[in-house]
Structure 1
Amino acid sequence: MVQPKALADDFSVSPQLTEADFAELAAAGYKTVINNRPDGEEPGQLTAAAAQQLAQAQGLNYVHIPVKMPELTPAIVDQFSAAMADNPGPILAHCKSGTRSCLLWTLVAAKHNTMPLEELMQHTAQSGYDLTRMRPLIEQYINAG
């Protein structure tokens, strides 16, 4: 099974899911899966439609918010924030490595002043996601809000 990394009590991120992961996530108590991978990003990855069917077959809510880093906008962050608020937890968000999903969570947390930016950066690094190179983007987002 994929090894989710908890960023909050009811929110984790992981790399790309496989077909078998959906049953294991449901058994582990997850209620919602947010997929941040665009279809066709890599040969052989699950399509959003296939992932949705697998999630629903396990009783999981499924949300697809595809993110390409050059096209990341405040509207996408708002969509991610709404998905977190509107769906039951625990929530697992995933992309190829988990980094985009972690970045989206960080941007939402920064927008809602969940913790100071320095603590957010340390927290994500301790969870295995070093967002140092994305700090200017995070600061830009905070300052624009």
Structure 2
Amino acid sequence: MNPVVINERFAVCGQIRPKDIADIARAGYAAIINNRPDGEVFLQPSAAAISAATQGAAMESVNIPIAGPDITEAKVRMLQKVLAESRGPVLAFCRSGSRSLILWAIGEVFDGRMRKKDLVPFGNARGFDLSRAVGWLTENGY
């Protein structure tokens, strides 16, 4: 697990395991967002297992699964709500961190903090392809 820090309140990473939670808490994260649907791959830890591990570390755990074209404005707003209400930094994960960053980036465009045309270069600078976010925004009239 190697989080990519997006800003002082948000970071993304690939799949985490329950045994990683103590290290994540020690790194200062107050909440985890799981953007990976259960059963996506064999032997992937379940959302319930991740959530149970966060309880022992006094962290919040939120499940906002995204599969394929599953992005909705409601899911973007759920991620934003967790960020706004968290008592500290939030770590979101999926298989690679890409879906987590896509949700965040769409929210940034919704709220006028980023322009759609800046998403791909922003993602590239952090090792992610945000063209899916641009496509989603375009298809949905943004």
Q: Alpha carbons of 1:90 and 1:25: their partners in 2 closer, same or farther (altered >3 Å)?
A: same
TM-score by length of 1: 0.89
Q: How big is the shift at 1:33?
A: 0.3
The residue matched to 1:43 in structure 2 has which SS? coil
61-70 or 99-108, which deviates more: 61-70
- Paired AA for residue 35 in structure 1: N
Confirm whether residue 121 of structure 1 aligns to residue 92 of structure 2. Answer: no
38-47 or 121-130, which deviates more: 121-130
CA RMSD, aligned part only?
Answer: 1.5
Q: Give the whole-Å Cα distance in 1 for the aligned partners of 2:104 and 2:98.
A: 10
Q: How much identity, in percent, do the aligned residues show?
A: 34
Q: Give the whole-Å Cα distance in 2 for the aligned partners of 1:140 and 1:96.
A: 24
The residue matched to 1:88 in structure 2 has which SS? coil
TM-score by length of 2: 0.91
Is the CA contact (8 Å cut-off) linking 1:111 and 1:142 kept in structure 2? Answer: no
- Paired AA for residue 86 in structure 2: N
Contiguous gaps of at least 5 residues in structure 2: none
Q: Alpha carbons of 1:124 and 1:40: their partners in 2 closer, same or farther (altered >3 Å)?
A: same
Alignment of 1:6-21 (within 5 A): 6-21=5-20
The residue matched to 2:69 in structure 1 has which SS? helix
Match of 1:108 in 2: 107
Contiguous gaps of at least 5 residues in structure 1: none
Is the CA contact (8 Å cut-off) linking 2:12 and 2:100 kept in structure 1? Answer: yes
Q: Alpha carbons of 1:42 and 1:85: their partners in 2 closer, same or farther (altered >3 Å)?
A: same
Match of 1:32 in 2: 31
Q: How big is the shift at 1:89?
A: 2.4
- Paired AA for residue 3 in structure 2: P
Q: How big is the shift at 1:17?
A: 0.2
The residue matched to 1:85 in structure 2 has which SS? helix
